[in-house]
Amino acid sequence: GMVWLKTRGSSIPKRAQPNQLTRTSVRLTPSLISLPHSAMAIIDTVIEVLSGAQTEILIFIFAIFAHTALFGRYRIVSQGKTAGKSVSASNVDRSPGGLSKGGDSPVSPKSPSSTSQLVRSVQALLDTGAKQSELVEELKIHLSKLPSTEQVDAVTTLLIGLRKSISAELLAACRGFVDEMGLEPSARFHEGVLHSYLALRQPAAFKAYLAEVEAVQGLRPSGAILAMRAAVQSSDLEGALARLSAVAEAWNASAGATASTAHAQLFRQLVRLAFERGAFPALLDQLKDAGLIATWSVEHLISECFSNGSETQLKVVKALAIAQQVGLSARAHAALIQGSKTASAVLAAVKEAASQGKGGEKEVILAAAIAASEHRATAPLAEAVEGLLQDAQGPHAPEVAAAVLRLALPGGPLEGGALRLFEGPLQGAELSSDALVELLVANAAIKEGKYDVLNKVVAAADSSRQVALIKGLASERRLADCSAVFKACSQKTAYIYNALLDACIFCRDMVAAEKIMRQALDDKMADTVTYNTMIKAQLQSGSIRQARRLVDKMREGGLEPNVVTFNELIDAAIRCSPGDVWGLVDEMKACGLKPNHVTCSILLKGISRSSRPGDVERALAVVESKEEPIDEVLLSSVCEACVRSGRMDLLQKQLQCQRGHGAVQIKGAHTFGSIIRAYGCLGDTAQVWDTWRDMKKRLILPTAVTLGCMVEALASNGDPEAGYELIREQMGDAQMRPLVNAVIYCSVLKGFSHKRRFDRVWFVYKEMKSEKLQFSIVTYNTLIDACSRSHDIDRIPALLAEMTSESIEPNIITYSTVIKGYCQENSVDKALKLLEDMKKNKQLCPDEVTYNTLLDGCARYGMWEKGMSLLEEMQSAGVHPSNFTLSVLVKLANRSRRPLEASFKLCEDLCAKYHIHLNVHVYNNLMHACTSHGDLSKAFNVLEKMLKDKVRPDARTYLVLLRGAVGAKSAEDAAGLLRAAVGLRGAHPKLAAYGTSFLQPKGGLPADTISEALEGIASQCNDEELALQLLRDVRRAPGAPALDPRLSLSIASKACSPARPSAKR
């Protein structure tokens, strides 16, 4: 073992040889030599005694004894921690420049343990925001017992150790401590202070302290480098140049062939500053005088000349290098190649590098290959690059091989030469740095049947690169070549099997996929991913049963399906077999698997308008049951699912949670758009604006979709003007203006059209034209719909002509909208003619909306025969009628004065044929047909059937029946209906079996309907007393609308009139 007896500034080694102890010679310090002769004799005797002991332990005990008894102030330090690292202050001061090669910071000596404790203590104080006085006291506590020279060294070490977290307080404390203790600052201390001022970016303080140091003791080269760095940072070119001669020695000493990173960075900053000041020639003169025209400096000068586009100065630099007999390095030649602007210039630079013996260097070949690719090199340049390969010795670096082989890509100057290069000058080179090149060589080997080369390429690649090769070939649907790569893999892992299986499925070769699956099973390489891949393939082809069999085989093989397996099965079930979805979810949970974000997204994606209410609630329950918190993507999906399903109650609940303590932190504009849309669907424009302002407050830039959601939310809630103003605001913002498009404007057009503000529709349309927005079919369909709504069909031909000029073909919606306009104008014949034109276009087939629009036109004018003809044509075309069709047909029969049975027979036949379950709108029209025929009893029978079918009545249901009852002068029936509608006791006997909440229409019965019914009971049914009692009861009903006060006065006056007796009840 090695033992060190160390004093300040010197180290005393003592080596003990294992298993052999001879009389040991100890190097003694002056203090040891000065001991009395008797003490020396005692020590010598002890050494004599110990020489007989043949163990290292006794040597170690002797070292401790010697240290404790004789050299109490000396420390024992392990050689492993000291050798080669401990440098005295004097040694540092004598080093050229006093800097480590890697940077500008002074080299620190090995600090005593107290110094490391000091650094930790001071750092802790800085973290608490300590003041200068507190820091000075801390320095005194740790350093007061040390000799003065060690105190200065310790403070210097502190400045260097904390330079990344240096503060003005710490710097002032260090200077204050040195001054207060009367210490003599060393050159290293001065440089530490200067470096601190530089880090704190205090140029004035740096300059003042620098002048003070120079006046007292001058600057070492390392200090001059700091002075130059400060001058460059302050863009003080004159000050930086003034330091050149002082830093030259340090730069050249540490540079060698290439400068250190820190020196190179400072030098390039100096050159850039000279270019900015137009003083590059002056810089060259100073560099020449300072002896800094060297290989490394010329390299950077050439590079900066190209960066600044100065060919004149480039020539000057090259001439100066020649005059100074400085050869260009490989990097300099590479810079010349990279900076050349034309292929001919690149070729000249390549030839120059070759003539100077640098052609085979990595930097030159790489630069030449990249330049040849960028300039779409001609044959001579490509051949020159290939020639450089011959000059190189040893295998080429991967990046060099990749750059050269890229010239052999299709369309490149060496196209078709990949294999020749790889087997020739690039033999033995690795291709792992570039997947495209690897695929290129593999392709060439396959095409030429050189499977030995393919085997080399594949064998040299790791499994991830082998998989990348298989995937690359699969993307070109080259399954046979994928198999060739697979065969070339020496170790066929499950990862590689799965890649080939993916390739088979991508190429739609299920036979090959099943073969690979069997092979993987035989080789015991099939894992869960293997099964999941095959399961996904079977599901995509619609083979759900086969997928389920694979799950069973998976279990038989000792593998359990994971969340991915069930996610694929659930996704397929939503598309093909919705009834199986929740069974799969239950099975998933039974396997101990918990639904993840993907599961929830799949379930929410499957929610639509036709989804059962229970499905929506179960999907949301799965989302809420997740252990991990909901993120903003899932929140967006929840909102979209509630909107699609029309479950505003659930949407309201979700948004209320978002306003609470557990709100999801939203950072994406897309999620903000979903929430804005959700509030828009709820009609809550106040929250729409709050969400928009919250997004702006967080400095989140909206996307075009977000802006579209905002404008749509405003326009669809009756305030298209606010939407238009928002658009104009964004148009005035240069950053937001590109987001505005015709689709966003379209929401405003639709809003104005629905508000029947057609003047604003055409004003906005002209503005869109002036802004040169790109119109779409949606824009024109909205404008044509406005024409239909405003009965201004004369504008339609011009819009259709404009569509033709913009190469926009009308779609089904366009035709249906025009047909609607014709029908509203009593031009059903024109609408039918347009239908015939539409059928001539093979790309357009009339859909349900088209036929329903025409049927509605026929119903409007009582055209029974034509309507029946259209119904027959509709069914023959394979277009299935819907509830909307039935509601129109009932209206058609009623307005065509057909017998009441005709309406019921139409509904019965079509429901049986197309499995239609009547909705409230069809039932309402049937009841209206009954009351129109004076058959109130049958109308109540229809109501009973509707309630049995669990179809909730709406406001129109009660309006139709109340009018029928009043018209039939049946006050009791009207009163029973009204009581049921507002939730009062005494509802109609036919409604008594149903719950109060179910009988009440959503949103309540409008005040106008109630007033009309009460007035009808009082006037037409001659029962003012009943009407007055009902009025009092309705006003006491919870949630009833406010009624006109004059209504009660009117009914009361009629009740008190003696001339008009009340009807008997």
Contacts of 850 (CB under 8 A, 6+ apart): 812, 815, 816, 819, 835, 838
pLDDT confidence of 255, banded at 50, 70, 90?
low
Lowest mean pLDDT, pick from 393-407, 613-627, 792-806, 814-828: 393-407
Between CA 441 and CA 459 the distance in angstroms is: 13
For residue 973, pLDDT over 90 is answered with: yes
pLDDT at residue 224, as a whole number:
82
Identify the top-confidence range among 10-24, 293-307, 668-682. Answer: 668-682
pLDDT at residue 887, as a whole number:
95
pLDDT at residue 77, as a whole number:
37
pLDDT tens digits, one per residue of 875-916: 999 999 999 999 999 999 999 999 999 999 999 999 999 999
pLDDT confidence of 15, banded at 50, 70, 90?
very low
pLDDT at residue 18, as a whole number:
40
Secondary structure of residue 106 in the 3-state scheme: strand
Token output for 890? 């009932």
Place of tokens 């009629």: 1054
| Mean pLDDT value across residues 512-539 | 92
- Alpha-carbon distances of 40 from 22, 43, 75, rounded to whole Å: 18, 5, 21
For residue 24, pLDDT over 50 is answered with: no
Looking at 769-870, which runs of residues are DSSP E strands? Answer: none
pLDDT at residue 12, as a whole number:
34
pLDDT at residue 1054, as a whole number:
56
- Alpha-carbon distances of 48 from 67, 215, 562, rounded to whole Å: 18, 59, 77
Q: How many CB atoms lie within 10 A of CB 535?
A: 25
pLDDT tens digits, one per residue of 162-215: 877 788 888 888 888 888 888 888 888 888 888 888 888 888 888 888 888 888
840 or 1001: which leads in pLDDT: 1001
Phi/psi at 807 (5° precision): 60, 40
For residue 25, pLDDT over 50 is answered with: no
User: Mean of the per-residue pLDDT values for the chain?
Assistant: 83
Lowest mean pLDDT, pick from 56-70, 256-270, 991-1005: 56-70
| Mean pLDDT value across residues 1032-1047 | 85
406 or 35: which leads in pLDDT: 406
418 or 93: which leads in pLDDT: 418
* Beta-strand relationship, 10-15 and 75-76: unpaired
Phi/psi at 99 (5° precision): -120, 150
Between CA 391 and CA 914 the distance in angstroms is: 82
DSSP 562-574: -HHHHHHHHHHHH
Phi/psi at 916 (5° precision): -95, 135
pLDDT at residue 61, as a whole number:
60
pLDDT at residue 377, as a whole number:
64
Token output for 367? 């630069």
Between CA 889 and CA 893 the distance in angstroms is: 6
pLDDT tens digits, one per residue of 913-944: 999 999 999 999 999 999 999 999 999 999 99
Place of tokens 């710097």: 171
In this structure, are residues 744 and 763 in contact, taking their beta carbons and an 8 Å threshold?
A: no
Token output for 92? 């540092």
For residue 948, pLDDT over 90 is answered with: yes
Alpha helices in 54-202 (DSSP H): 56-65, 79-82, 89-94, 113-127, 132-143, 148-161, 168-180, 187-199
Between CA 159 and CA 152 the distance in angstroms is: 11
For residue 98, pLDDT over 80 is answered with: no
672 or 332: which leads in pLDDT: 672
Contacts of 650 (CB under 8 A, 6+ apart): 616, 617, 620, 642
pLDDT at residue 956, as a whole number:
95
DSSP 737: G
Place of tokens 């005593």: 112
Q: What is the greatest pairwise CA distance in the chain? A: 151
For residue 353, pLDDT over 60 is answered with: yes
Residues 776-787 as b/e (b if ≥16 CB within 10 A, e otherwise) read eeebbbbbbbbb
pLDDT confidence of 946, banded at 50, 70, 90?
very high
Between CA 391 and CA 403 the distance in angstroms is: 17
Q: What is the CA radius of gyration of the chain?
A: 46
pLDDT at residue 64, as a whole number:
64
Place of tokens 């991913």: 529
pLDDT tens digits, one per residue of 417-453: 888 888 777 777 777 777 788 888 888 888 888 888 8
Identify the top-confidence range among 132-141, 381-390, 417-426. Answer: 132-141
